[in-house]
Amino acid sequence: MKNKIDIIKSNFIQAQGYLSSFINDSNNFVKIENAANLIISAFTDKKKLISCGNGGSMCDAMHLAQELSGNFKVKRRPLPAIAISDPAYMSCVLNDYDSELIFSRFIQSIGQSGDILFAISTSGNSKNIIRAAEIARKKKIKIISLTGNNGGDLAKFSDIEIRVNQDSFSDRIQEIHIKIIHSIVNYIEINMNL
């Protein structure tokens, strides 16, 4: 049996391996740059970013919106970003409609052509995320997605898909997703006239 410290250490070693694999594919950095430039373009055109995800991915969606509308590394004006995460709104849709409509109804209500939907799904197959992407596509809203494994159905709807190509549990994928989010926000702060 492994000693308890080795069990803990193995998590870090595994995460390091997945991160190294992501880093070794230079196309990932092109996609991150393209995603950040698409967001800058939307903000420059006075459009907004709407983010969504389930569970830990919702926390990441909230984190992204907070870094943009609040502050990251640079003291600057707030940027128009919101995560679909209001519990009163979400419980209303769950009670009156269906869990598949949680994100899509929000996009229907405030999404406008030229906005960005930043959709996060480690499997790429979350039905409520797919429904949001379908509505976004109809409204001419650009879709940036963070996915994992094979990208799932969300990959088909995405203008830019950044995939953590690991056949793994969600935790390893999410660990790289948050690094991608921080990289995007950092790029925006450096390259946007703020």
Tokens of 28: 């990932």
Residue for token pair 């519990």: 87
State how far the Cα of 106 lies from the Cα of 95, in Å rounded to an integer: 15
% of residues, the chain, pLDDT over 90: 93
Q: If 0-12 CB within 10 Å is exposed, 13-18 middle and 19+ buried, where does residue 128 land?
A: buried
Domain formed by 26-191, architecture: 3-Layer(aba) Sandwich (3.40)
Q: Containing H/E element for 6?
A: helix 4-23
> Which residue matches tokens 């803990």?
8
What sign does the dihedral 41-192-25-147 (CA atoms) show? negative
- The Cα–Cα gap between 145 and 124 comes to 9
CA end-to-end span of the chain, whole Å? Answer: 55
Task: Please return the burial class of 154, using the count of CB atoms within 10 Å of its CB with bins 0-12, 13-18 and 19+.
Answer: buried
Q: How is residue 158 written in tokens? A: 């995405």
- Position 3 scores a pLDDT of 86
Nearest to 66 by CA among 47, 52, 81, 50: 81
Residue 1 pLDDT level (bands cut at 50, 70, 90): low
Residue 50 phi/psi, 5-degree rounding, is -120, 125
The residue to which tokens 């995800």 are assigned: 53
pLDDT tens, residue by residue, 3-21: 899 999 999 999 999 999 9
The total of other beta-carbon atoms located within 10 Å of residue 161's CB is 20
Would you say the pTM of this structure is higher than 0.75?
A: yes
**Using one digit for the tens of pLDDT, what is the confidence trace for 26-44?**
999 999 999 999 999 999 9
Give me the residue spans of the domains in the chain.
Answer: 26-191
pLDDT tens-digit map of 154-189 = 999 999 999 998 776 799 999 999 999 999 999 999
Residues in the chain: 194
Average pLDDT over residues 21-27: 96
Give residue 181's pLDDT: 98
